[in-house]
Amino acid sequence: MRKLLPLLLVGFLYADNEIYIDQSGNNANIDLEQLGSSNIIGGLDAVAGTMTPLDLDGLNLTLDINQIGSSNKFLGDILGDSITGFFEFDGDSNVFDIQVDPTDTYGADSGDYNVDVTGSSNDFNLNVATNALASTLDLDWVINGDSNTLDFDIDYDLGTSYVDIDGDSNTVTFDGSGYQSGYFYLDQTGNGRTYNITQSSTLASDWLKIISNGNNGTVCVIQNDGGTSTGC
């Protein structure tokens, strides 16, 4: 088995930096920073200029990811429990796509994800766990910018999700399912927003709060007990 060591990788060039990772083991502290545009963080199976997911496998993982610039891409598969993630993206037209324990290897328990975004026309996708096995999830997103797209697919017990958005023409799609309950809080300021919120815990004890200030918005909310939903 490979022994996991703290990892610090920094890209400093103006463009086209690429970091590829395949790491297994426990108690990891991984710190990545890229400055510039058209940078990539992904997996070892990629070739220059292409994307595959980075692969992190283990328990007690701490990630600190910073991409500063435009047209950057982060694509990752994370398998583990007790995951703490700090993600900062500053720029436009960036892509963030992360799958947390999609194969149900560990269960994705005790997840704490903090994401800070400044910029416009960014695309973010977060998929956490399967079969309601993720417990004690804490998800915090702060978005400042226009025309951003956020897509969450969360399968958890006792999960809390906070999303704070300041900007126009942003789109949020949230699909939360699980056994016990989910808490989703959205605070938004800006015009032309679109929200599609679905909560479908088995015990029908979900909680939703939306505070929205702005014009020309579309909101679809579905809360459905029994763990199933038709979606927006």
pLDDT along the chain (232 residues), means of 10: 44 61 89 90 72 85 92 88 91 91 74 93 87 75 95 82 94 81 88 89 78 89 67 61
pLDDT of residue 132: 56
Query: d(Cα 132, Cα 201) in Å, to the nearest integer?
Result: 9
Query: d(Cα 84, Cα 29) in Å, to the nearest integer?
Result: 10
pLDDT of residue 56: 86
| Closest-CA residue to 196 (of 214, 178, 213, 175) | 175
pLDDT of residue 186: 92
pLDDT of residue 11: 41
Joined together, the tokens standing for residue 189 give 């300021």
Query: d(Cα 231, Cα 36) in Å, to the nearest integer?
Result: 38
Separation in Å, CA 49 to CA 45, 56, 91, 142: 12, 21, 19, 29
pLDDT of residue 133: 59
What is the enclosing helix (H) or strand (E) of 154?
Answer: strand 149-157
Three-class DSSP category at 126: strand
